Amino acid sequence: MRRMLFITVLMLSVAAPTSAQVGKLGQAVGKLSKAKSMADQVKDLVITEQEEKDMGAAISTRLSQKYGVVQVALVHKYVSLVGRVVASSSTRPNLAWTFIVLDTDGVNAFAAPGGFVHITRGALALIADEAELAGVLGHEIAHITEKHTINAIKKSKVTGGAVEAATRSNVLEFMLDSAYANLLENQYDRGDENESDQVGIRMANKVGYAPAGLGKFLTRLSDRNKDLKEPSGVFASHPETKDRVNKLAKQITSEKLNATATVAARYRATIVYKPVAVAVVAGAAGASSLTGSTGSTVTPTTTTAKPAETSTTSTAKPPASSSKFGLGGVTSKLGADKTNTGTMASAGSRGVNPDRDSRGGSNPARVTVTITPAEIAAFRKGISG
């Protein structure tokens, strides 16, 4: 008689419980050690690059379901161009980097494993120029290249009894749910955040962007959030802003990071969103209060991608139901994430976090754009002081 597997797991580092089974994860479903606890299984599991990509795709689908996706192709293309240029100077330039603009006033950004970088239109509204965008995207890209999301799960406090005949899929499913919860809560430790700051501005500087951009954005975000009793969004778990900005300034001096390009005019001509006060976001005013939000008139200066044999897809639409991580299950079960009572009750007990809990748009569909090598080369030429 087939033995049933019962796993009772509590993630003490995240308050939101995992919500549902999301299908088979990973190709390898062989039984793991019979005597190991779930904590040991998670700590010892070596994630393949394909599993990392599958996990990132599934998490990205959840985020798109929760916040919606801005349905303006030229905004996606512009963010993707900046992101692709910065990522080209990373330690993993050949990942299929995907940049997604989430449809919410909340100021936030999320780095999912395997190359999936998300930024909200609320963050784009608060950013002042292309160098600041490059700094923010560079920070998120570094979280991925350094595998901080996966490492955070492995370092987190997991309790549970011994697992009898656990499969690789069981552990990967657990890690997927934990990774998603960690991203919503910005559960990176201080060391990970500092490393992402340092690596991110090095990448931005290497391609010509002023490395001070990230510090300027963080200072503006800190001023926006000064009346909040608790940190919010991308500011939630980061080190104190003043200390963080000081470290960035010292790094710029000591490493002689002297690029000067801010590219403010191109940014302002392309990104027309207006910042929304955090008090409005906290009141769940949502998309209706944003000038230039989905459905409004946007006048970017970039041009529609021309079809070419060398074109590459920068934001690929995920399959509806075929994935090693069960994306169909994610879409159907976690579309309810916006109103998930367990998640919201848990969020309430942790206090107000307006950027995390901000209202999102209703359309989760990915926006597909193509970017050719020629377009990237032309875009690079515009990075000048």
DSSP string, 310-363: T-EESSPPPPSS--TT-HHHHHHHHGGGGG-HHHHHHHHHH---TTTS--B-S-
Q: Is residue 185 part of a domain?
A: yes
Phi, psi (rounded to 5 degrees) for 119? -140, 145
Q: Is residue 341 part of a domain?
A: yes
Q: Which of 89-103, 141-155, 251-265, 303-317 has the lowest mean pLDDT?
A: 303-317
Q: Across the strands, what pairs with 90?
A: none
Q: Is residue 6 part of a domain?
A: no
Q: Is residue 171 part of a domain?
A: yes
The whole-model pTM stands at: 0.75
Closest CA to 106 of 341, 352, 363: 352
Structural domain span for residue 223: 27-376
Can you read off the two tokens belonging to residue 250?
């010292």
81 pLDDT exceeds 50?
yes
Please report the pLDDT score of residue 43 as a whole number. 65
348 pLDDT exceeds 80?
no
Q: Which of 123-137, 271-285, 359-373 has the lowest mean pLDDT?
A: 271-285
CA–CA distances in Å: residue 187 to residues 15, 48, 235: 11, 22, 11
pLDDT digits (tens, 9 = 90+) for 124-183: 999 999 999 999 999 999 999 999 888 877 776 554 444 444 677 877 888 888 888 888
Can you read off the two tokens belonging to residue 62?
């959840």
Residue 148 carries which side chain, given as an amino acid letter? H
**Local confidence band at 362 (pLDDT 50, 70, 90 cut-offs):** very high
The total domain count for the chain is: 1
Q: Which of 10-24, 65-79, 156-170 has the lowest mean pLDDT?
A: 10-24
Q: Is residue 100 part of a domain?
A: yes
**Local confidence band at 294 (pLDDT 50, 70, 90 cut-offs):** very low
Count of beta carbons in the 10 Å neighbourhood of residue 296: 12
**Local confidence band at 109 (pLDDT 50, 70, 90 cut-offs):** very high
Closest CA to 25 of 57, 2, 3, 63: 57
Can you read off the two tokens belonging to residue 145?
């290249």
Phi, psi (rounded to 5 degrees) for 356? -70, -40
More confident of the two residues 64 and 181:
64
Q: Is residue 68 part of a domain?
A: yes
Q: Is residue 372 part of a domain?
A: yes
pLDDT digits (tens, 9 = 90+) for 206-216: 999 999 999 99
**Local confidence band at 312 (pLDDT 50, 70, 90 cut-offs):** very low
As a whole number of angstroms, the distance between CA 360 and CA 358 comes to 6
